Amino acid sequence: MDFMSAWIVSPSALPFLCLILGTHAQQAFRTEPRNLTVRMGATAVLRCEVLRASGTVQWVKDGLLLGPQRSLPGFERYSMIGNPKRGQHHLQIEKTLLEDEASYECQAGRSDSSQAIISSTAWIFMLIPPSKPYLMVDMATPWVAGSKYTVTCIAPDAKPMADITLYKDGVELTGAQSFTMSGSKDKLLNTHAEVTVTAVSSDNGRQLACHAQNPALFRPVETTMTMKNEEVLSTTWEEDVVAQKSSSILFLKTRPTDNQAVLCCESPAEVILLGSFTAIEGQDINMGCYATSSNPPVQIRWWLGYKELNTSGEAMEEGDNGGMTTMSNMTHRVSREDDGLKLTCEAFNKGTHFSKTQFDILNVYYPPQNVWLDTPPVSPLRSGTTVRLVCFSTGGNPTATLTWFKNGRAVHDALRQTSFERGVARELILVLTPSDNMATFRCDATNKAKKTISAQTKLKVHFLAVNMKISTKQEVQRQGQMLTLECQSGSSNPQPIIRWSLDTVRFGKAIDPPEFSPKQPAQIQVLEDDMAVIPLLLSANPEEVSCIWLHRRETLVKGDPRLCDGSIYQVLVELSQQAGVIRALLHPLSFSEGSLRFHRSDDNSLEIKNVTRKHAGVYTVKCTNEEGVNQASIMLDVLCSQCQGRERPCGSEPGETADLICVADANPIISGMFTWKWLGEGEVEMGEENQQDESGLLTIHDVTRAHAGLYQCSANNDIAPPATVEVQLVVQCTFSVFILSVTGEHLHVFYCTNKYTCTPSSMPILSCVVKPNLQKGAQWTKVASRGDGTTTAEVVCQAEGIPRVDFSWEKKGVRMDFANPRYEERTVREGSFHTSTVRVVNVSTNLDYAVFSCTARNSLGKTRSTSSSSAQITQILLHRLAKSTSPTTRSLLSGSPASTVVCGKGFVYRWDQSDSFLYVDVFPPGATTFTVTGLQPVTTYNFSVNALNAMGESAYADNNAVLTITTKGQFGVTPASH
């Protein structure tokens, strides 16, 4: 009996697989830890007091146990304080740091008298002040009056983010925009604040200030900078191309304010690029950019495409005419993505706001990506046959150069290389000779990247013996003497058969039935999806042997290829030296063996392509010749990593124990091959992991709702790739045992009731089986619509259940016929929720104002009892709708006869002996009084009122009470106001 069957038909074994532990609430928390916010460097205390503590009390930080000792060794700043005799086990953290921000739990372990208990999770949130802020503003050259400049202040490494305020000479700068970026550590934030400032001449010498503040600071931190301003008088000049000079003339009308002013003339620079723009992928290129003398000196930036590169160094020296030369060096490691991009050097003069650039195209060499061969499909080949070997290569810069080699020596008579859209090709035409048998033909693809990739093949060539010789050691032969003759055959493939004849009399050596070599292997190992070759080492005389391969009593390959339908043959005719003797040999060129996966080679070995685990087992080969039959058995061992998972979540109530089992259908089975992973949010204690042969077991004690969710089991037996299967643990399940099996790409779930009867169902993940639960409430029990034959109403019924829920509908107690075009039904499923919508077209007062009954069923049963039934019924009333006096008409929701519902804030009224209700929206919205008109004289009405907003609707006023009003005679109507 297999593993799955044992679970289903052997209920007596289940208690040994699933242990349910009772709950003994002897320990309890008097005080549980609460969330705490702490400034960095302060002391934090999380409180925990346990009543009747009988188990070991420990603290857990982010799922890590800190230990039972109160000094908490290994955690220098941590300790447990308080009086343990009073159950006080408070966690104290001194000199708090960012790393202390985590989740914490206090837990008391299991004891002989009590289950383990775990407190609610408490978080410590750290408040960290920003480091000293700094200003980013271009002050290398004085500002120019009237120009706009961006002032940026950065407050780094704060938690929470810092608020930045910028000031100029004590006056706050408005219009600043802030954003955050990641800080130097996780959870820390850098705040950037930017503001645009228009420089004025009076700004010279004034102070820029940046203040940064967050809850961790009692007063803000600040940084300052002094502003420098200058005024540009002229930006025009003339060029003398012949003399290679430029000049600028300034006409200045002096003013008293110009006294002691400094006049300065600044000039742009020429830019020269230095270095090689050609490199091999992965190499570093060293480039230089030289800017001639300028005043002020230029700033140099490097660009590759649209990406700015970092410089490795910059130097300035005195140049001509009182200016400065600038030299910038840059080192960049190139990749193939850089090929063809512009490498640009930009020199920018901040004084003249003038820039010059110089660029060149980067050429990156990288090796070919692929190389493959197109070879003859038929093997072996006959000597003298003409064959074509074609080598293809794609990728690389530049395209590859292809070279053919035979046994390591270059072949020079290959055709010229040709190009195609994605690469190159080169063809080698051969007239096969005996020397080509088992020769290695290799094609190398190389280019200027100086890396070679290759592809190679070997050809099997059949050829006749190159020569034959009959000799004797006796120089003189006399009558009656014994004569010894020796026949020597030259090289041939396959091995020749030598026969002797004298005139018409043939001679032969001893004959033997097939015999297997002592070196014949008894077991072959192969990886799944590879090709398995089961060799056949056999000798016989005569050598014509017919072999049949069997696996599980099924014939895989027929012994005589001439019996294969659809085979192609080649007839070879050999002429003997004796006239009139002709021998014809029939050689198969291809076989039709019923399966492309199995193939028999020339030596009767069995080849299995893309072997799978189902091919593992014993293979028997039976070989026959004229003298007898012999057979051998070989075991094929397929190594694989795929697995099938079976999970068994046990324990549906908190405090019980759940076991998850993952069974690997793999080969080999090794120790420690199973690992478990929690796929849900947050952290949970994973439980105990064990392995029993091919099964991995995850045992979770004291299951809580926090353990509910997806778990992943991975099996890795060092045969790539590892296999995984997922299971969902559901707490508070109705049923106790689940089994999940994986077959190919399909999941099959078996859920077992408490009576241990199992029903198969296809589900995407493991889940609880739930009987249908119809949605209740006013909005599901009444629908309003006009009955004039012009409107369409939708009656909606929703149920939650697993497995799939089916709906049936009745109107006035009669099953509805959805072949009627006036009624349409549509069911939509989202997870465990199923929604059935009946669309009523052209609603009629006489035909459709009625009670619609919705029944929900699933495979747990079809009874209609109230408590244990899996079929639930709800009734929905379709009734008339009055026109609202407001400008807009709402789609009304629903209600029950005792609890009606209306959209908006409005009134509902009805008259005696009527099943219908008339709904009126209050207008304007929010009004506290409303007048109802159009009532009949001398008629009693019952009024109800409720309120509605975007979040939902209220119950009806005064506990569903009604206001009963009887109208007067024909002289008037008594309005109902609220």
787-829 confidence digits (pLDDT tens): 778 888 888 888 887 677 888 999 888 889 888 888 999 999 8
Predicted pLDDT of residue 593:
38
Judge whether 474 lies within some domain. Answer: no
Judge whether 617 lies within some domain. Answer: no
Q: What is the pLDDT of residues 63-113, one digit of tens each?
A: 899 999 999 998 999 999 999 988 899 999 999 999 999 999 999 998 888
- Residues 73 and 105 reside in one and the same domain: yes
Q: Which residues lie closer than 8 Å to 45 by C-beta, 6 or more apart?
A: 36, 81, 90, 91, 92, 93
- Residues 647 and 716 reside in one and the same domain: yes
d(CA 89, CA 897): 57
The token duo for 211 is 């203040």
Domain of residue 109: give its range. 28-127
Last residue of a domain, one of 398, 428, 462: 462
Give backbone dihedrals phi and psi of 893, rounded to 5 degrees, phi first: -85, -145
Average pLDDT over residues 205-229: 87
Pairing of strands 354-361, 758-761: unpaired
Q: Label residue 890 exposed, middle or buried (CB < 10 Å: 0-12, 13-18, 19+).
A: middle
Q: Which residues lie closer than 8 Å to 426 by C-beta, 6 or more apart?
A: 390, 391, 402, 404, 414, 415, 416, 417, 418, 443
Residue 567 zone, left/alpha/beta (φ > 0; ψ -120 to 50; rest)? beta
- Give me the residue label for tokens 């069911």: 827
Helices first, then strands: H and E counts in the chain: 4, 83
Q: Which residues lie closer than 8 Å to 787 by C-beta, 6 or more apart?
A: 843, 844, 845, 846, 848, 849, 880
Judge whether 633 lies within some domain. Answer: no
- Residues 862 and 793 reside in one and the same domain: yes
Judge whether 95 lies within some domain. Answer: yes
Q: Omega before 721 cis (within 30°)?
A: yes
Give backbone dihedrals phi and psi of 859, rounded to 5 degrees, phi first: -75, 0
d(CA 77, CA 523): 62
- Residues 712 and 791 reside in one and the same domain: no
Judge whether 484 lies within some domain. Answer: no
Judge whether 296 lies within some domain. Answer: yes
- Residues 910 and 959 reside in one and the same domain: yes
495 close to 471: Cβ distance less than 8 angstroms:
no
d(CA 696, CA 634): 32
DSSP string, 949-964: ETTEEPPPHHHH--EE
- Residues 865 and 906 reside in one and the same domain: no
pLDDT-above-70 percentage for the chain: 73
- Residues 47 and 121 reside in one and the same domain: yes
Judge whether 311 lies within some domain. Answer: yes
The length of the chain is 978
Pairing of strands 872-879, 782-784: parallel
d(CA 658, CA 148): 69
- Residues 359 and 416 reside in one and the same domain: no
- Residues 859 and 885 reside in one and the same domain: no
Predicted pLDDT of residue 877:
57
- Residues 222 and 281 reside in one and the same domain: no
Judge whether 244 lies within some domain. Answer: no
- Residues 122 and 33 reside in one and the same domain: yes
d(CA 466, CA 233): 101
Please state whether the predicted TM-score (pTM) of the whole model is above 0.85: no
Last residue of a domain, one of 202, 232, 262: 232
CA dihedral 927, 929, 934, 939 (to 10 degrees): 140
Q: What is the pLDDT of residues 147-206, one digit of tens each?
A: 888 899 999 999 999 999 999 888 898 888 999 999 888 889 999 999 998 888 777 778
Predicted pLDDT of residue 862:
41
- Give me the residue label for tokens 């002797």: 500
Last residue of a domain, one of 73, 101, 127: 127
618 close to 524: Cβ distance less than 8 angstroms:
no
Domain count across the chain: 7
| Average pLDDT score over the chain | 76
- Residues 361 and 374 reside in one and the same domain: no
CATH number at residue 320: 2.60.40.10
Closest to 457 (Cα-Cα) out of 377, 358, 397:
377
Q: Which of 380-394, 460-474, 505-519, 831-845 has the highest mean pLDDT?
A: 380-394
C-alpha distance across the termini of the chain, in Å: 76
